[in-house]
Chains A and B, each alone.
Chain A
């Protein structure tokens, strides 16, 4: 049962643009929401994470916006660069080690 829906499936932006990736969840018991970045042939790398008591978190060029009432959260990448081209996964954890991943968004940043 998919509990985290991620969109879009793919995204193309120009260098300097601000790609936005969205995720929606169903289970209000989720209490930890990480984002992972994955390059081809590599494992997912933890990028940034948020807990539901916070509405926004920034780390460098990456920002998570969290809307608890709508059960949605999104990743914004400021001043995107070609090196940001990768697949991004959102995830949600129930606190019992059961982490559910979205299907991924393939981001391409054109020079």
Chain B
């Protein structure tokens, strides 16, 4: 098992619901990431945090709201999602935010929006 955990592993929600995804890393890393993985598409970077500061918001709709209370925890708050938001949401961490740092991934949360 990797040092990055995600909960829940599966989530079904209606378009009017509000839910949150949680990620925790036990590696002592300073940078954390949210990715979206849709079928037959490359992983899409959504957000990057370094030392709890957001350094990238990759043109993500406002219905996705990230939160990084400390360097070990990362949340993704979801509200009024659309069916096309159904995907695997992956969290990753790296030692630092520098180019070339290895990213370690969690197992993902499989999200279905009805």
A binds B: no
Q: Enumerate chain B interface residues (CB-CB to A < 8 A).
A: none
